[in-house]
Structure 1
Amino acid sequence: AKIDECGLPFLDVLEQHQEWLQSHGIPNQKSVIFVTCGDWDLKSMMPRQCKQYSVDVPNIYRLWINIKTPYSYRMNAPPAGMARMLKVLRLTLHGRHHSGIDDCKN
Structure 2
Amino acid sequence: MESDIIEIGICLLDLKSGEISDNKGVLVKPERSTIGTFCTELTTITPEMVAQDGISFIEACTLLKKQYLSQSYPWASFGAYDMKQFQRQCSATDVGYPFSPSHINVKTLFALKKKLDHEHGMAGALELLDLPLEGTHHRGVDDAKNIAKILNWILNN
What TM-score, normalized to structure 1? 0.80
% same residue: 29
Higher RCO (C-alpha 8 Å, min separation 6): 2
1:74 equivalent in structure 2: 113
Number of residue pairs the alignment of both structures matches: 97
Answer yes or no: is the 8 Å Cα contact 2:135–2:142 preserved in 1: yes
> 1:51 and 1:58 mapped to 2: Cα distance?
12
Q: What residue ranges of structure 1 are gaps of 5+ in the alignment?
A: none
Q: Measure how far apart 1:48 and its partner are.
A: 1.4
* Residues 23-62 of structure 1: pairs in structure 2 closer than 5 A: 28-29=71-72, 32-42=73-83, 44-58=84-98, 60=100, 62=101
1:103 equivalent in structure 2: 143
> 2:89 and 2:133 mapped to 1: Cα distance?
29
Task: Name the one with the larger strand percent.
Answer: 2
What TM-score, normalized to structure 2? 0.56
Q: Measure how far apart 1:3 and its partner are.
A: 2.5
> 2:104 and 2:87 mapped to 1: Cα distance?
17
Answer yes or no: is the 8 Å Cα contact 2:86–2:97 preserved in 1: yes
Answer yes or no: is the 8 Å Cα contact 2:111–2:120 preserved in 1: yes
2:60 equivalent in structure 1: 13
> 1:68 and 1:37 mapped to 2: Cα distance?
5
Q: What residue ranges of structure 2 are gaps of 5+ in the alignment?
A: 1-24, 28-48, 147-157
Aligned-pair Cα RMSD in Å: 1.8
Task: Tell me the secondary structure at the aligned position of residue 48 of structure 1.
Answer: helix
